[in-house]
Chain A
């Protein structure tokens, strides 16, 4: 075993450019690690042939001396991204056998930058879940383990987080609708950033809730997040919500200097039931930023407690509309029909067989809140509350706050199966600190900041001003250096 799979993107890039290592060697190390990690169930579609072919091409390109930073870097792609000719199922039975004839813009940008796709990564079905337990492929498993239990890597980007934490790839793509990049990053001791809504094209990414969905990188370090995010961002005429703004050199903005910046600590995030360890982690994080020269300011985001219920109106409403396309006609699964079954039975049976329980639940809730007579009471009210939530952030930014520090999750990773008997709302509470960011369209980053008493990673979240991912990454970079988190899960798989 060469251990090349354990490199960061930044180190691998430098060594590739120095001619010290080849992309083929990096790729082979990752493929070997993936082969030995079947127990984690992180990679669900393997593409070693594509990987080696791209690695060879990357090696030639690097030799010409004109290769972008991601050239030759082996990455995993969340199953939510459509990848040409390669199964793209959103972890759902309803897309069984679907092989897109096209490539999502984000994965195409990575491919064109020379990144090497190792395969597709496990996730919650249609990105609906916070534990990767709704996947048609079965649970992805967290490489962190402290007792006999298998722990969740979080969700929905659970496979991405598990793969990065276990060094099966150098980095992975994720998507985040209510916390699906940041919560799994926190549960696995990795870094995940959701950029500002509109930074990354959503074209070719299976849609969940279009006004909330954003893609982002999941990496081992903040620097890697900066490098990979840069390759993923940019305007795309095929997504009318993708913004026409220049993408700055995020890595160059990691100066390590945050003197004079104002960091807000929102009092509404201090939940009554918050575990002492999380509260201490948060306080320590604020202290570290203060030591680095930032000013820590107590702030108020008064509508925070309404973010989760607003989210669980808006996201299912959009999902019920987006998922209407799965009708058994154009792609994916179609139920076997009985004699006399017409087109309505075909739709109803196909969708009952193809969608898992959580997806069915959300589609039905969305259908209900959009139905005549309830639209105003639920959907329109939720959209008004969303306006107020966004206004809360605008107000604190107008007061000069540069970034906001919060915990990333209300707990460390929990055991798979432990939430089976919980009602759906309890699972939704996982997103309590992250979901506001999607509703307000802001950039947010989760990074590991310590271990709990059992030895499991805990993460902090930084929320930035719109389009200021560079400054946000720089603050995260400072926090990362100060907290000195270097722990890795011990290999048991």
Chain B
């Protein structure tokens, strides 16, 4: 069985940018371990020489001219922003 320890759980939460309170880490670690154990059934399969699937339907993605097809909708783009100012998305200070 795969064991996710508290430190790994904390690291994963941080990588996922989800704040998890300290007291919830043990339960999280246990749940993640359960799910990973389930996934480890895949280790029984012989995948030697098998290509990992990249596209479920055999298709080439279409290409188009690399050109502007749309635009001029600043107000629409900002209309749902939690904090928009002077035509920009506003966020807390990023650089000191």
Contacts and interface: CB of A to CB of B under 8 A. Distances in A.
Given A198-B57, A346-B92, A423 B31 contact: yes
A320 interface: yes
A324 B43 CA distance: 29
A348 B17 CA distance: 5
Interface stretch (A1-9, A326-334, A401-409): A326-334
Q: How large is the interface on B (under 10, 10 to 19, 20 to 34, 35 or more residues)?
A: 35 or more
A303 B38 CA distance: 15
B92 A312 contact: no
Contacts of A320: 16
A324 B16 CA distance: 8
B12 A342 contact: no
B72 interface: no
Contacts of B85: none
A305 B41 contact: yes
Main secondary structure of the interface of B (DSSP, over half): loop
A350 B12 CA distance: 17
A60 interface: no
A352 B19 contact: yes
Interface string B46-59: 01001111111101
Contacts of A367: 12, 15-16
Nearest to A326: B17
Nearest to A428: B38
Secondary structure call for the A interface: helix
Given A364-B18, A424-B34, A388 B93 contact: no
A313 B59 contact: no
B52 A312 contact: no
B42 A306 contact: yes
Nearest to A97: B80
Interface stretch (A115-123, A224-232, A378-386): A378-386
B39 to A, nearest CB: 5
B93 A342 contact: yes
A384 B17 contact: no
Interface in B63-96: 64, 73, 76-77, 79-83, 89, 91-94
Contacts of B54: 383
Interface of A: 97-101, 196-198, 211, 237, 240-241, 243, 303, 305-306, 308-310, 312-313, 320, 324, 327-334, 337, 341-349, 351-352, 355, 360-361, 363-369, 371, 378, 380-388, 390, 423-425, 428, 439-441, 466
18 contacts: A101-B73, A101-B77, A196-B57, A197-B57, A241-B55, A328-B82, A329-B91, A330-B81, A343-B91, A346-B92, A348-B18, A352-B19, A363-B16, A364-B13, A364-B18, A364-B28, A365-B36, A384-B51
